[in-house]
Amino acid sequence: MNKTSIPLRSGSLTSKQALLTILLAILISVIAGSVELFNHALSMRQNVAQRVEQQLAIVSGAAAEAAFQLNPDLAHQIAYGLFSDNEIAEVAIRDDFGSPLSEFAPTEAVESSWLSQRLFGDMLHYQIPLNYYVAVDLPEAVVGEVELRLDEQRLTQQFLDRSISVVGSSVLEAFILSLLIIAFFHYFITRPLLKVHDAIAHADPERPGEWDKPQLRGHRHDELGHLVDSLDHLLQAFQQGLDQRDQLHHLSHIDGLTGVANRRHFDLFYQQQWKRAKRGAHPFSVIFIDIDNFKEFNDHYGHAMGDDTLRAVAQVLNNCIDPAHDLLARYGGEEFVCVLPNQDEAAALDVAQRLRRAVLSLAIPHAYSSTHTHLTASMGVASTSAQTTLSAAALLAQADQHLYHAKHLGRNRIETRSRTA
C-alpha cells in the first residue's frame, strides 16, 4: 500500500503535533509508574474496543446485505477489509444457517501468554448478528453474523512498547506532563473535536443535512477543518440518499394514474390489519367498489377522458375515509377497494353510502350507460367480527361476491350480507 506523505505546513495539525512531540521530549525521559501503566492499560482497552465497535458498526450494513443476498464476493471484500487491520487476527462472515461466506485466519497458530490474557483476554472475541431491513411493515430479520478475534500478541506488544517508554518516570513528571497534555490538547484539539461531536450528536437522524456545522477558529485550513468539511459533504450526500429513498418508497406504494394506494400497498396493509384484528378480536370490514359500465364509457368518450374520470373518482373516494386508519386502493382497472379496520358492518355500510354518494356528486354524464344517465358505482361490503371464522381471503371473496350481486341487481347500489341499500 502506498503511503502519501503529509507536508508539515505552517499551522497544520501535523505541525502542531510535531511541535508537541518536541516539547514533550524536552520534559520527558520516560513516563512510568504503576498508576500510569494501569491508566494506559485501561485507555488502550477502551480505544481498542471503541475502534472495533466502530468498524463493526460501519461494515454491519454491507455485511447484512452480503448475508441476505448470499454474496460471497461482497462478504470477502468486507472480511478482507477487517482482516487487513493489524489488530485483527481472524474474521468470519456467516449466513443465518452458520455457513461461512468468507473467512480469514492467520497461517500460523497464535500463541497466548498470561500477560495478554490478563490484559485483553476478556475482549479478544467479538460476535454480532447481522440485521436486515426487509420491508416497512416487517421487523428487522437476522440474516447472519460477523465474528472476529483480535491479535493478542500484537496488542500485548503495543502495550509493552508503550510501557518501556514510561517505566522509570516519577509521579511528579507524570503529573506535570498530564497537565500539559490536557491543557494543550484541550485547547487545540479536544475542544474543537468536542464541538464536532456535539454537532453530530444533536443532528436529526431524519434530516442529517440540516446539522449545525461547527465553525472551528484556527482550524480552517488544517485537518480538523477539512474533517468538518468532509463530514458536511457526507451528511449532505446522505440527506440526498434519504430523500431519494423516501421518494422511491412512496412511489412504490402509489398508483401512478389515480394517486391512491396501489395493489401492492393494499396487499401489505390488508394482511397487516387482518392480523391485528385477529389478535385483538376487533371487527374488520372491506368494500369492493366498481365503476358501472366503465368499458362503455371508455369506448365512447375515449381513454383520456376515462383516465381523468378514474382520477376524479379516486379523489372523492379517498376524501370519504380517514387515511390515518383506513385505506383506499386501486384494485385494478376501474375497481377500487376500501379497507376499514376496527369497523363493523353497520359502520362499513355508512362509509359505503358516503362513497356511493361521492361518486354521484361528481355528476359525470354517461349517455352510454345501460342503467343510468350519469356515472355510478356499485359496491360489495363484507365484515367480520370476533365470532366469525372467516379467513382473510374468504372475506375478500365475500365482498367480491356481494359486488357481483350489486351489479346483477341493477348497479348503483350496495350489497352486503343481510342488507341492501
Catalytic residue positions?
A: 334
Pairing of strands 414-415, 377-384: parallel
Q: 145 is written with which cell numbers?
A: 453474523
What order of strands is seen across the sheet that includes strand 377-384?
Answer: 327-332, 335-341, 284-291, 377-384, 414-415
What's phi and psi for 96, nearest 5 deg? -70, -5
Question: How many CB atoms are closer than 10 A to CB 183?
Answer: 10
**Element containing residue 215 per DSSP (H, E):** none
User: Distance (Å, rounded) from C-alpha 190 to C-alpha 196?
Assistant: 10
* Residues 372 and 366: beta-carbon distance below 8 Å: yes
Strand (E) or helix (H) holding 218: none
The span from the CA of 216 to the CA of 219, in Å, is: 6
> One-letter amino acid identity for 271?
Q
- How far is it, in rounded angstroms, from Cα 289 to Cα 376? 10
Q: Residue 240 half-sphere exposure, CB side, CA atoms within 13 Å?
A: 5
